[in-house]
Structure 1
Amino acid sequence: MIRSLIEYFLRHKLLVNLVVGIVFLAGIFTLTNLQRESLPNVDIRELLITTVYPGASPKDVELNVSIPLEDALQEVEGIDELNSVSREGFSLVYAKIDDNLSDQEVEDVKSDIQKAIDRVTDLPEEVLDRPIINEIKASLFPIVEVMITGPDEDTIRAYVKQLERKIKRIPEITYITKVGFRDREIRVEVDPNKLVATETAINDITRAIAARNVRMSGGTLESFGNERNIVTIEEFQYPQQVKEVIIRSNFEGKVLRVKDVAEVVNGYEKQSLIVRGNAQPCISLAIHKKSKADVLRTMDKVVQLIKQDKKPKGVSYFLANDMSIYTKNRLKIVTNNAFFGMILVFVTLLIFLNFHTAVWTAFGIPFSLLVACMLLPRFGLTINLMTLGALIIVLGMLVDDAIVVAENIQRHREEGQRGISGIVNAVMEIIAPVATTITTTIVAFAPLLFVPGIMGKFMFAMPMVIILSLSASFFESIFILPSHLASSMEKECVGEQKENCVQHKVSKKEFMHYLQLKYQRALSYVLKHKYLTIIAAVLLMIFLMGFALKNIPFLMRPESGITEFYIKFNAPRGTSLQKMETLIEPFEKAIQSLPKNELESMASRVGSDSEFYWLNTGNNENYAIIFGYLTPMSARNRYAGKIVEEIKEKT
């Protein structure tokens, strides 16, 4: 059967060229249209329920927020794991859905979780916003953070709103989070002397304002230098409307209005989070793409829009945490490896084989990669860090089988076996060991296809890409390569060209004879002293293992791959935002003093130390965090660890 197929492909070279043409056209088309993203968009069936409880101690957060939420979720069937973390002013409840449930059952459990959270209505009054439920998946993370700085908050705020509207028009964008963006708020600053003179209480003012509002939420009214909780006045459009609110009136027609006892100003809500970019106050736009959108194309559109957009005087921007960079770097590695791999294979083969054989053997690399890319969508895979990593791994394996097949065909030809029968005999002679080699490699990676749980979903792409690439390589070496070699071998050298060919073959034969003599002498010595050779090999292996264990450190993530770091701050309770802002400034200066070829950008949060930088909530005033984003390792000479050590020394 296999022999007949090989003969069929050898006799129908037009079919072979047609197959190759289809593979290249379909592969290139698929590759250019395939979705590119940073991480696989896997539903890992995990949810985070976050609740902000301003000013509360960890114990209060646990008793009044975390425990009631956990109790409500205990009643939901299908939750496999449930735990919580309670910190100052912040509750985080983690829910893991059972991996054995079907997709539809998972959606039902998510709906039940939402209903259970909605039933919790006895949270403290200080909890102004309802608990937020977020699914943990790749689309949860923004693709980039746009940091916008300017001369003042009004200017920055106006431009941010304008830019947000424009970015939202990009079809690939799903939503944008404005971090550090404060809503407008009308503030009523009461004059205590006028309160006394008019015999008015603050509660009279709050009731009068509340009576004029349909919607109410928490805010502050300043009185006697202190802040007291009252209802805000968000429904009002202008301060003048608040000034005219009647507090009380009498039978004589005298009316006491808000403007008679207080100053009404148009300002912003109380600041709970300060965002800084490159040590300057700013507002951040955390941009999220749709799950099916291509991260590179989306980023190109976003960057182009921002560059072309007209900005007010003094307003500038920079990008932080650009997730597309990782995908670009991996794509660059795969492209470079494939290109230089083909060149190295070609040059190496030229030493031992003829020109045409070297060309067609190296041809197996792009053919196999394009077949794999062409089949990726069939398995629901995209171009991401996992698939690109798999392509990098498999690049070095792709031409092993083709080299064996090509060399054996050439050997049979040199021995006088020409024509189709000679090529078929050459292929059939080594097809079993070649198939065994490919199969053992596939079997080594195949178990990763069946890894259970979330890890299995992330790992699935790697073995599948390797299996597809190796299978394509085997097909090419057994059916496509022999046909190409047969065509090239038909072109015999004639005349002066024939004389050059003969001289080239003689030179190569002499070189190979020289190598064989050296190898025979070494092999003869080893066979004569086999016990000594075995002992020496074992001792060398033990020495190398000991040297490696002692001198090569084990790292889960190599330092060369680290391009970001963060510094967390936790001051005593009661520390104000402004004090925390002053506290982190020396660290920002130390980071900014790094060479330009090392530091890409820096972003800070005062009022939160959460690594979820896209959340527009501060969990406590005495927390802060600085994110440092480094340039790629190719642009700098130091690892991230050395850079962090320098920052520590400076602070």
Structure 2
Amino acid sequence: MRRGLIAVFARHRLLANLLMALMFIMGGIALTRMNIQYFPTFALDVISVRVVWSGASAEDVETGIIIPLEERLKTVDGLKKLTSTAAQGIASLSLELHEGTDPLLALDQARQRVDEFRNFPRDAETPQISRISRYESVARLLVSGPSLADLRPWVRQFERELLARGIDRVEIGGLPEERIAIEVPGSVLETLGLSLDGIGEQVDRLARDIPSGIAGDADGARELRSLEQRRDPLDFESLAIVSDDRGLVRLGDVATIVREARPASLSLSAVALGAPGEITRIEQQEDGPATIELLVQRAETGNSLKAARLFDQWLTDVGPTLPPAIELTVFDAQWEQIQERIDLLVHNGLQGFTLVLLLLFIFLPGRVAFWVAMGIPTAYLAALALLWLFGGTINMISLFGLLLTLGVIDDDAIVIGEYAESRFRSGMAPAQAAIAGARRMFWPVVASAMTTVAAFLPLMMIGGIMGNILGDIPFVAMMVLLASLAEVFLVMPAHLRAAFEHHVEATVPRWRRRVDAGFDHFRDRIYRPLVTRSVRWRGVTVSLVIVMMMMAVGLLAGGRVQFVFFPSPEAQIVFANATFVAGTPREQSAAFLAEMERALRDTETKLGAGWSILRWRVWAVPCRWSPAPGRPAISSPRSSCNWCRRSSARCGTRNSLPLGAARFGCRPGWRAWSSPRAAPVHPGATSRSG
């Protein structure tokens, strides 16, 4: 390359222009086709095993499911960490794999190990074994209305419409799952000689759709199916639970059948905006004002900005069709951060291009300064093309890497352009000056690029999920440096040659001669003597460098300069979490929540910012039997509590609870969560990690 390639491109202007045009075209194609997302694409090597055993306590779940599965799953190849959690009615196991392990092979092994266990509890559901899929949030939507009953059909309609428009996933929060609860008095059970389990089996046997064979042959064959699945409380009243010589007893004659929210359902409550210090909490009830949250997400390979456009278009279309009682509020729009980072990159790029062009115009001829500054957009577009070709994406980390390397592109073009211009002023021909500048600065520029790569290289050696995320920074840096080297050594020399040929007959303006004279004075009278003395007294120079290094290390070691791997920028959303120990009076927990709300409102008033949303998430676990999805729940006032084994009447868990308080079994403790990702766990739940 030192002998001929630079000279070939410098002497053939068309070849250099074609390469530059190719960089621009490929960069434009990459911008239109490259995926835009929040984080880089990486796989979560985590396998989840989940078993639902409705009505079982955490101790029973641990003994009957967790421990046997742990003994079998710990032999999965490539297992790094096994974490299990036993909660009321749910067993969850998480298998984290070593980096490089084949996740599909590990998933098959996990399924085989689970299938080998034949002694699951009779009422336990089929184990759900899956590899964790990663979805990223696009935005959150709050749907407010007069009641849950009114909001439920609207929310389901919103979910269907968003999915139909191309949104990858929609999660609904604050909308309790419904079930049909059948409550039979204990005296009736004793009179009829029945039990709750017997009635449950009878209902499960009768209230289901059963295939009934095939009628006809060949093309005229039709499948038969008996449709007995009940989906309304009134439909269960006609089921016969006793049919013998004692007579016919239907379920509706002895039981109370209602549709209700499943226990342990997440709920949201709004806080009305009033005067400072005035707190009005609106509790979510079936017949009162309610709020439901929709989390709009994109898949790992989805485009965040495209999903945001689809979401905004849906909001525009659905807004006029809503009744006045339904209100939509968008918040926590993650895509806005990506757009802001892209705007920042474009703004900084334009600002850097303008500043470089103005400063170079002071010290270099106009055409030379222009082609040196053109190295910034050319190299960036070429870097985006390389990033796209190698499977990269536009995300918060890659954009950060592009911002870091903005100055590197300027340095390479400036040093080559300035040296070539100095050779031209010393009397060299335009072509020879451009080639001499590129050849003379080839190894210094390459060495500088390799030094930059070496500085970023340790980030590629970080393992795990964090390494997958931070690996985009050195990857982007290498793409930018490679594009910059191609631009300054293959494209720019031809343009410098053309600029020098134009300035052969041009006269140097008087103001430029004054600037050059001032710069020469600074270089020859101040800078050069200082460098000469530093080299002559090299021992003093090295000692000063060592002293400054020791001071820097001392500031870090002494804690005077804090080291933070990731800075903590100010967030637009504040989450407040409150946990109360067992035995805390209900009034005290409610008063604390009211005080927290008052403090948040006072803070908003003092800061003068616009308060957007204040919401509370509540996780409640009453003492009721939770059946499998699609099956009715049956409870009795004499049925025992899952935690204390006492009757529900003595346990007192059927009493109403204040907002922000959730009572677990008969243990008098309450918890409230306001974080959207808080994962509440039953106080009696056990967690194992190994």
Range into which the TM-score falls when normalised by the shorter chain = 0.7 to 0.9
Q: Which runs of 5+ in 1 are unaligned?
A: 217-233, 610-616, 630-651
Range with bigger deviation, 141-150 or 296-305? 141-150
Q: CA deviation at 1:277?
A: 5.7
Counterpart of 1:606, as a letter, is V
1:147 and 1:277 in contact (8 A); partners too:
no
User: What is the alpha-carbon distance in structure 2 between the residues aligned to residue 149 and residue 577 of structure 1?
Assistant: 27
Q: CA deviation at 1:389?
A: 2.0
1:113 to 105, 110, 114: 110
Give 1:233-252 correspondences, 5 Å limit: 235-248=229-242
Please name the residue that 2:141 is paired with.
Answer: 146
Range with bigger deviation, 28-37 or 178-187? 178-187
2:262 to 246, 263, 269: 269
Please tell me whether residue 333 in structure 1 is matched to residue 344 in structure 2. Answer: yes
User: What is the alpha-carbon distance in structure 1 between the residues aligned to residue 121 and residue 587 of structure 2?
Assistant: 27
Give 1:20-169 correspondences, 5 Å limit: 20-50=20-50, 59-86=59-86, 91-101=91-101, 103=102, 106-117=103-114, 120=117, 122-123=119-120, 130-133=126-129, 135-136=131-132, 138-139=134-135, 141-169=136-164
Identity of aligned residues (%): 23
Please name the residue that 1:635 is paired with.
Answer: none
User: What is the alpha-carbon distance in structure 2 between the residues aligned to residue 619 and residue 68 of structure 1?
Assistant: 30
Range with bigger deviation, 374-383 or 256-265? 256-265
Q: Describe the shift of the 1:188–1:53 C-alpha distance in structure 2 as closer, same or farther (beyond 3 A).
A: closer
Please name the residue that 1:223 is paired with.
Answer: none
Alignment deviations for residues 269-310 of structure 1 (CA, whole Å, 9 cap, x no partner): 345322346676422223332332111111221132134313
2:170 to 169, 173, 176: 176
Counterpart of 1:36, as a letter, is I
2:251 to 258, 261, 265: 258
More helix by share: 1
Please tell me whether residue 363 in structure 1 is matched to residue 410 in structure 2. Answer: no
Counterpart of 1:269, as a letter, is R
Q: CA deviation at 1:401?
A: 1.6
1:50 and 1:131 in contact (8 A); partners too:
yes
Please tell me whether residue 518 in structure 1 is matched to residue 566 in structure 2. Answer: no
Give 1:342-357 correspondences, 5 Å limit: 342-357=353-368
Alignment deviations for residues 79-119 of structure 1 (CA, whole Å, 9 cap, x no partner): 34323344676644221234344x4xx31221232343355
Alignment deviations for residues 163-198 of structure 1 (CA, whole Å, 9 cap, x no partner): 011011023x333332232344334455778x4998
2:363 and 2:516 in contact (8 A); partners too:
no
Matched residue SS, 2:301: coil
Give TM-score, length-normalised by structure 2. 0.75
Q: CA deviation at 1:416?
A: 0.8
Counterpart of 1:375, as a letter, is L
User: What is the alpha-carbon distance in structure 2 between the residues aligned to residue 485 and residue 505 of structure 1?
Assistant: 19
Q: Describe the shift of the 1:144–1:107 C-alpha distance in structure 2 as closer, same or farther (beyond 3 A).
A: same
1:9 and 1:483 in contact (8 A); partners too:
yes
User: What is the alpha-carbon distance in structure 2 between the residues aligned to residue 534 and residue 437 of structure 1?
Assistant: 22
Q: CA deviation at 1:473?
A: 0.8
1:213 to 207, 211, 231: 207
Counterpart of 1:113, as a letter, is A
1:368 and 1:473 in contact (8 A); partners too:
yes
Q: CA deviation at 1:37?
A: 1.0
1:626 to 674, 681, 687: 674
User: What is the alpha-carbon distance in structure 2 between the residues aligned to residue 289 and residue 371 of structure 1?
Assistant: 28
2:24 and 2:378 in contact (8 A); partners too:
yes
Matched residue SS, 2:4: helix
Please tell me whether residue 296 in structure 1 is matched to residue 292 in structure 2. Answer: no
User: What is the alpha-carbon distance in structure 2 between the residues aligned to residue 474 and residue 411 of structure 1?
Assistant: 21
Range with bigger deviation, 481-490 or 43-52? 43-52
Range with bigger deviation, 472-481 or 47-56? 47-56
Counterpart of 2:68, as a letter, is P
Please name the residue that 2:618 is paired with.
Answer: 606
User: What is the alpha-carbon distance in structure 1 between the residues aligned to residue 406 and residue 118 of structure 2?
Assistant: 57
Q: CA deviation at 1:531?
A: 6.1
Give TM-score, length-normalised by structure 1. 0.79
Counterpart of 1:151, as a letter, is P
1:48 and 1:134 in contact (8 A); partners too:
yes
Matched residue SS, 1:284: strand
User: What is the alpha-carbon distance in structure 2 between the residues aligned to residue 198 and residue 87 of structure 1?
Assistant: 35
2:177 and 2:265 in contact (8 A); partners too:
no
Please name the residue that 1:12 is paired with.
Answer: 12
Counterpart of 1:248, as a letter, is V
Q: Describe the shift of the 1:475–1:449 C-alpha distance in structure 2 as closer, same or farther (beyond 3 A).
A: same
Please name the residue that 1:647 is paired with.
Answer: none
1:570 to 579, 582, 587: 579
Q: Describe the shift of the 1:275–1:119 C-alpha distance in structure 2 as closer, same or farther (beyond 3 A).
A: farther
Q: CA deviation at 1:24?
A: 0.9
Q: Describe the shift of the 1:251–1:56 C-alpha distance in structure 2 as closer, same or farther (beyond 3 A).
A: closer
2:51 and 2:126 in contact (8 A); partners too:
yes
1:580 and 1:606 in contact (8 A); partners too:
no
Q: CA deviation at 1:39?
A: 1.5
1:39 and 1:386 in contact (8 A); partners too:
yes
Please name the residue that 2:425 is paired with.
Answer: 414
1:99 and 1:453 in contact (8 A); partners too:
yes
User: What is the alpha-carbon distance in structure 2 between the residues aligned to residue 24 and residue 7 of structure 1?
Assistant: 23
Q: Which runs of 5+ in 2 are unaligned?
A: 211-227, 272-280, 285-290, 622-628, 630-661, 678-690
2:27 and 2:385 in contact (8 A); partners too:
yes
2:480 to 451, 461, 469: 469
1:423 and 1:482 in contact (8 A); partners too:
yes
Q: CA deviation at 1:518?
A: 3.2
Please name the residue that 1:505 is paired with.
Answer: 512
User: What is the alpha-carbon distance in structure 2 between the residues aligned to residue 180 and residue 363 of structure 1?
Assistant: 54
1:553 to 559, 562, 565: 562
User: What is the alpha-carbon distance in structure 1 between the residues aligned to residue 504 and residue 182 of structure 2?
Assistant: 98
User: What is the alpha-carbon distance in structure 2 between the residues aligned to residue 61 and residue 155 of structure 1?
Assistant: 37
Please tell me whether residue 324 in structure 1 is matched to residue 335 in structure 2. Answer: yes
User: What is the alpha-carbon distance in structure 2 between the residues aligned to residue 581 and residue 111 of structure 1?
Assistant: 48
Q: Which has the higher contact order (CA 8 A, sep 6+)?
A: 2
Q: CA deviation at 1:318?
A: 2.7
Counterpart of 2:675, as a letter, is F
Q: CA deviation at 1:161?
A: 0.6
1:603 and 1:627 in contact (8 A); partners too:
no
Alignment deviations for residues 423-467 of structure 1 (CA, whole Å, 9 cap, x no partner): 222322222222222223234434554655555443432222111
Counterpart of 1:148, as a letter, is V
User: What is the alpha-carbon distance in structure 2 between the residues aligned to residue 84 and residue 149 of structure 1?
Assistant: 37
Counterpart of 1:4, as a letter, is G
Q: Describe the shift of the 1:260–1:576 C-alpha distance in structure 2 as closer, same or farther (beyond 3 A).
A: farther
User: What is the alpha-carbon distance in structure 2 between the residues aligned to residue 583 and residue 334 of structure 1?
Assistant: 45
Q: CA deviation at 1:13?
A: 1.1
Q: Describe the shift of the 1:63–1:174 C-alpha distance in structure 2 as closer, same or farther (beyond 3 A).
A: same
Counterpart of 1:257, as a letter, is R
